Amino acid sequence: MGKINWFPGHMKKTQREIKENLKLVDAVIEIRDARIARSSANPDIDKLCEGKPRIILLNKSDLSENKVTKMWMNHLSSENVKVLEVNCLTGKGLNQIKPTLELLLKEKHDRLKAKGLVKIQMRVMVVGIPNVGKSTFINKMAKNNIAKTGDRPGVTKSKQWIKTKMDIEMLDTPGVLWPKFEDDTTALNLAFTGAIKDEIMDIEELSFNLVKRLQTRYKDNLIERYKIQEVNEDPLETLNSIARKRGCLVKGGEIDYNRIAVILLDEFRGGKMGNISLEYPNEDISNEEVEG
C-alpha cells in the first residue's frame, strides 16, 4: 500500500479550512465509522480540534456488531467528548444530538442566559473521513436533502453551512484523510469500508485481504453468504471457492479476480455479509474470540 496517494491537495485545503472555522463554532461533531472506530479517527483533525467540546458519532451502526459498538462508546467517552451510536440513514440516535450538545455547552449557555439571552443558536462543524456519512447526517438533521451525498468518497467538494430544524447551524466539510497511515491495517480498514477511492487501489489485492481478515473472526458469515463448505487456511483458496460459487470465471475455467473483487467489496460495504466490526477497543478480546 506504499505508493498510493490518498492525500490530494483538496484535503490539505480542507484541513486548513477546518482550522480557520473552528473559532466560529461551539462544538465539533466528528463522524466515525462504527465498524472501524479506531481507523476512522483522523489524528490530524484530532489535534486540530483539541479543547473543543466534541461529539463522536459512531455512524453506520446498522452495519457493525452491536456489542462491539457499545464497547467503543464506553472506551471513547470522556468529560469533553460524548459518544453516540447512530444510523444516519434511518435517523436512529439523532434525537440525542441536541441534548448532548446542550450538556456539553451548559456552562457557556448558563453564562449567556444570565446575560439575558433567551434563544441560543448553536453552531457546529461536522468533520470526518471521506464517505462516512457527514452530509447524510446533516440532511437528516435539516430534514431536507440540501447536501449532496453518494456511495463513494469525495462527494462533498467544499464547505457549506446548513441550518437544521433544531436551531443548530452545521458546517458540512469534505472528508479528510491524513498523509501517513500508522500501518497497513489502518489503510486496509479505510479501503474496505470505502473511505479511499477504489480507483487508486488494487481491488483484487484488497478483496483478498478482506477475505483473509473476515475468515478469522467472521468465517461463518462468509460460509453462510457464499454457501461455501468451509474456509481454507489459505485465504486465496477461500477466495477461489467464493468466486466459483458466484460463477466468476473466465474462459478456460480461470478465476475472474476482478469480478469477484467488485462483488465482495460491494457486498461487504452494503452489509450483505451481516453485522461486522473490524476493530475492537481491546484487541486481546478479539484475539481470544478469534481463537475460541
Ligand X SMILES: Nc1nc2c(ncn2[C@@H]2O[C@H](COP(=O)(O)OP(=O)(O)OP(=O)(O)O)[C@@H](O)[C@H]2O)c(=O)[nH]1
Binding to ligand X by residue 134, rule CB under 6 A? yes
Q: Which of 40, 135, 240, 277 binds Mg ion (CB under 5 A)?
A: 135
Q: What are phi and psi of 67, to 5 degrees?
A: -70, -30
Size of the site for Mg ion (CB under 5 A): 4
- Least separation in angstroms between residue 149's CB and Mg ion is 6
- 45 burial via Cβ count (<10 Å: 0-12, 13-18, 19+): buried
53 contact choice in ligand X, Mg ion, none (CB below 5 to 8 Å, kind-dependent): none
- Least separation in angstroms between residue 214's CB and ligand X is 18
Residue ranges in 46-75 that form contacts with ligand X under rule CB under 6 A: 59-60, 62-63
Q: Which residues contact 61 (CB under 8 A, 6 or more apart)?
A: 34, 69, 85, 86, 87, 92, 93
Tell me how far apart the alpha carbons of residues 196 and 70 are, in angstroms, rounded to a whole number: 26
Q: Which of 22, 76, 81, 155 binds ligand X (CB under 6 A)?
A: 155
Give CA separation, 263 vs 8, 87, 211, 239, in Å: 27, 24, 12, 12
- Least separation in angstroms between residue 56's CB and ligand X is 14
Q: Is 62 annotated as a binding residue?
A: yes
Binding to ligand X by residue 156, rule CB under 6 A? yes
Residue closest to ligand X when measured from CB atoms? 175
Q: Which of 154, 205, 245, 286 binds ligand X (CB under 6 A)?
A: 154
Binding to ligand X by residue 133, rule CB under 6 A? yes
Single out the residue of 134, 173, 162 nearest to residue 150, CA to CA.
Answer: 134
Binding to ligand X by residue 235, rule CB under 6 A? no
Q: Is 292 annotated as a binding residue?
A: no
Binding to ligand X by residue 160, rule CB under 6 A? no
3-state secondary structure of 149: coil
Helix (H) or strand (E) holding 137: helix 134-142
Tell me how far apart the alpha carbons of residues 201 and 191 are, in angstroms, rounded to a whole number: 8
- Least separation in angstroms between residue 61's CB and Mg ion is 19
Q: Which stretch binds ligand X (CB under 6 A): 77-85, 123-131, 214-222, 238-246?
A: 123-131
Q: Which of 52, 73, 175, 215 binds ligand X (CB under 6 A)?
A: 175
Pairing mode, strands 122-128 and 160-163? unpaired
274 contact choice in Mg ion, ligand X, none (CB below 5 to 8 Å, kind-dependent): none
Q: Which of 156, 193, 209, 241 binds Mg ion (CB under 5 A)?
A: 156
Tell me how far apart the alpha carbons of residues 160 and 143 are, in angstroms, rounded to a whole number: 16
- Least separation in angstroms between residue 152's CB and ligand X is 7
- The answer to whether 165 and 142 are in contact (CB under 8 A) is yes
Single out the residue of 126, 189, 127 nearest to residue 162, CA to CA.
Answer: 126
Tell me how far apart the alpha carbons of residues 144 and 192 are, in angstroms, rounded to a whole number: 30
Residue 153 vs 235, nearer CB to ligand X:
153
Tell me how far apart the alpha carbons of residues 257 and 236 are, in angstroms, rounded to a whole number: 11
Query: Which residues are annotated binding-site positions?
Result: 59-62, 131-136, 175
Query: What are the residues binding ligand X (CB under 6 A)?
Result: 59-60, 62-63, 87-89, 128, 130-136, 149-151, 153-156, 174-175, 271
Query: Which residues are annotated binding-site positions for GTP?
Result: 59-62, 131-136, 175
